[in-house]
């Protein structure tokens, strides 16, 4: 008896899973995940991603085993793995989700398609988010997003699994020698960075997180997501589960809208918070759509008129100071430390990190983006690279947003609780100098036994550059480039292809028509 093959990638769930549901309609299914060595060698991969995937696969495997199935974990490059499986037991069709990933997965999926065509195997890919493959007109995007989110959540139902029979000369162990279970997965030795306080993977944890957000934590969403003190509870914390597919975007949207509908009239703050959350779910897919429509923005400026702006001035010492949490600006260094320990940071602080990298430190977004991709457990390529360029001013269509890390600290950590939590060396420093410790009198430094110096042995580093002067020079360089005729002339093409439309984030009505606006006016984040 033949079967259909379901290939899990970044869709590690068993409900509202179009590939699994469609495959099940044709008969027995066989479920695989493939550990691709080349994928995990990419510069945006980290050990925390691998472990989160392993945990999520374990939950998926547990669920499928309740129905008599499992997830086979194969190791190798696609389509070599497909050839091996095919040679052992040919399958009729291959099902997977449409992945808007990095350049490696884009090229890999093309090779898989060619393999299927060569072997006369049906190759079916299904949308994962409200992202449209081969989108011809941005004005058509919001209706498509709404249609996708309005479709019923698919209950995969009862599954029949394909079973491999051992030949007369094989033992059961030999039959399954080509694959292992999720619990047997071994992380590639080169992978690094697994924050001790990161979120754990798995669908049950995703559902628990959604429930706690809708019923309790979202009360603090409005006014609570900007400060790094309140954001860990006020934000949904669903970003990692959406990025790795433990829960579907459609499930999140429908549960949120249903919860809004049943709130009492007096729950205006709660309703407003969840409405703002829905808006950010639109923006999640909006940014992924940019990479889907133009994969090259992973490597090159969205607006090519900014080519050469920073590429030749990259300062390795500045970059190392940023990665080591030694910029000298306490809010920046505290954020880097929290990110290193938890794998998560709220959107405003992420934007501040990129802004500091792009302006006063004058670092090109690509190396910074590779490093941050490994730090973010919820790394989603489409959002990540679009936002790196937006915050770095290379899209050509967004307002220049420069975050002053001292003001951010004063606004969102006025009593220094966050900074003191993540930078123990500053715990005894009085509030007066907490966010600018380099201004602390030497007598006070002596009294506290904490010295601000310019070498790595100092408890507190001097700022790597003069913040005001470096920021002013960076903005002048960017704005002078923006005023050139070449940059102005090429702006319209970027707007037509990538810019948001005026009514995005609002529910469509019969009377409303799409109206294009020249720029994305919202300052958006990496997380929601």
Known binding site for FAD: residues?
Answer: 221, 277
Beta bridge partners of 74: 34, 179
Measured CA distances, 64 to 20, 118, 161, 163 (Å): 11, 31, 9, 14
Percent of the chain's residues with pLDDT above 90 = 82
Sign of the C-alpha dihedral computed for residues 301, 305, 308 and 309 taken in this order: negative
User: Which residue's structure tokens are 């490994």?
Assistant: 374
Q: pLDDT digits over 15-72, tens only?
A: 999 999 999 999 999 999 999 999 999 999 999 999 999 999 999 999 999 999 999 9
| Residue 504: predicted pLDDT | 52
Chain centroid, CA 427 distance in Å: 32
Burial class (CB in 10 A: 0-12, 13-18, 19+), 461: buried
pLDDT at residue 514 greater than cutoff 50: no
CA distances from 238 to 53, 246, 310, 389 (A): 15, 9, 34, 24
- Phi, psi of 13, rounded to the nearest 5 degrees: -145, 175
**Residues comprising the binding site?**
221, 277
- CATH class label, 1-128: alpha beta
Q: Which fold has domain 203-293?
A: 1.25.40
What are the pLDDT digits (tens) for 269-312?
999 999 999 999 999 999 999 999 999 999 999 999 999 999 99
Q: What are phi and psi of 46, to 5 degrees?
A: -140, 160
Which residues are paired to 223 by β-bridges?
A: none
The pLDDT of residue 505 is above 70? no
Instruction: Report whether pLDDT(525) > 90.
Output: no
Sequence-ordered alpha helix ranges (H) in 7-152: 18-24, 37-40, 47-65, 80-88, 103-118, 141-150
Give the Cα separation of 448 and 53 in Å (integer). Answer: 45
Q: Is the pLDDT of residue 497 over 80?
A: no
Q: Is the pLDDT at 161 greater than 70, yes or no?
A: yes
Q: Where are the domains of the chain?
A: 1-128, 203-293, 304-469
According to the model, what pLDDT value does residue 487 have?
83
Residue 215 CB: number of other CB atoms within 10 A? Answer: 11
Query: How confident is the model over 241-277, as pLDDT tens digits?
Result: 999 999 999 999 999 999 999 999 999 999 999 999 9
Complete DSSP assignment for 395-428: SSSS------HHHHHHHH-TT-HHHHHH-GGGTT
Structure tokens at 241: 């589960």
pLDDT at 69: 96
| Chain centroid to CA 53 | 14
In sequence order, what are the residues at sequence separation of 6 or more whose Cβ sits closer than 8 angstroms to the Cβ of residue 514? 139, 142, 501, 502, 503
| Residue 344: its H or E element | none
Beta bridge partners of 97: 126
CATH fold of 304-469: DNA Cyclobutane Dipyrimidine Photolyase, subunit A; domain 3 (1.10.579)
DSSP H helical segments within 330-378, as ranges? 330-342, 347-358, 365-375
């Amino acid at each position: 008896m033949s079967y259909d093959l379901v290939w899990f990638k970044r869709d590690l769930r068993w409900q509202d899973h179009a590939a699994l549901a469609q495959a099940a309609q044709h008969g027995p299914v066989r479920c695989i995940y493939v550990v691709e060595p080349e994928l995990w060698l990419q510069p945006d991969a980290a050990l925390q991603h691998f472990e989160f995937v392993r945990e999520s696969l374990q939950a998926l495997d547990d669920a499928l085993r309740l129905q008599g199935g499992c997830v086979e974990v194969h190791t190798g490059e696609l389509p070599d793995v497909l050839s091996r499986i095919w040679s052992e037991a040919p399958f009729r069709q291959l099902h997977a989700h449409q992945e808007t990933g990095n350049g490696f997965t884009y090229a890999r999926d093309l090779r898989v398609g060619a393999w299927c065509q060569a072997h006369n195997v049906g190759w079916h890919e299904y949308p994962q988010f409200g992202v449209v493959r081969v989108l011809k007109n941005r004005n058509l995007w919001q209706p498509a997003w709404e249609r996708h989110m309005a479709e019923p959540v698919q209950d995969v139902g009862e599954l029949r699994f394909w079973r491999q029979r051992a030949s007369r000369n094989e033992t059961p162990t030999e039959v399954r020698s080509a694959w292992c279970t999720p619990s047997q997965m071994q992380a590639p030795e080169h992978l690094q960075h697994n924050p001790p306080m990161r979120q754990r993977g798995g669908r049950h944890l995703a559902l628990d997180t959604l429930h706690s957000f809708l019923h309790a934590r979202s009360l603090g969403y409005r006014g609570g997501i900007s400060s790094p003190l309140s954001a860990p509870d006020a934000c949904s914390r669903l970003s990692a589960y959406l990025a790795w597919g433990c829960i579907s975007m459609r499930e999140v949207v429908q549960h949120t809208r249903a919860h809004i509908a049943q709130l009492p009239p007096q729950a205006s703050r709660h309703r407003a918070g969840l409405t703002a959350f829905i808006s950010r779910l639109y923006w999640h897919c909006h940014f992924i759509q940019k990479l889907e429509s133009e994969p090259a923005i992973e490597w090159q400026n969205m607006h090519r008129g900014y080519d050469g702006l920073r590429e030749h001035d990259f300062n390795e010492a500045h970059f190392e100071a940023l990665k080591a949490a030694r910029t000298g600006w306490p809010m920046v260094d505290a954020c880097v430390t929290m990110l290193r320990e938890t794998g998560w940071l709220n959107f405003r602080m992420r934007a501040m990190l990129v802004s500091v990298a792009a302006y006063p430190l004058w670092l090109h977004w690509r190396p910074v983006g590779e490093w941050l991709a490994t730090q973010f457990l919820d790394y989603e390529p489409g959002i990540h690279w679009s936002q790196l360029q937006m915050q770095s001013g290379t899209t050509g269509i967004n307002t220049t947003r420069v975050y002053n890390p001292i003001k951010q600290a004063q606004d969102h950590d006025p009593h220094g609780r966050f900074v003191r939590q993540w930078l123990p060396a500053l715990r005894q420093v009085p509030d007066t100098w907490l966010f600018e410790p380099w201004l602390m009198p030497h007598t006070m430094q002596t009294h506290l036994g904490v010295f601000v110096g310019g070498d790595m042995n100092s408890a507190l580093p001097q700022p790597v550059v003069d913040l005001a002067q470096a920021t002013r020079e960076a903005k002048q360089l960017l704005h002078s480039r923006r005023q050139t005729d070449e940059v102005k002339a090429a702006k319209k093409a970027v707007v037509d292809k990538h810019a948001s439309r005026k009514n995005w984030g609002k529910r469509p009505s019969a009377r409303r028509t799409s109206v294009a606006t020249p720029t994305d006016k919202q300052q958006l984040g990496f997380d929601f």
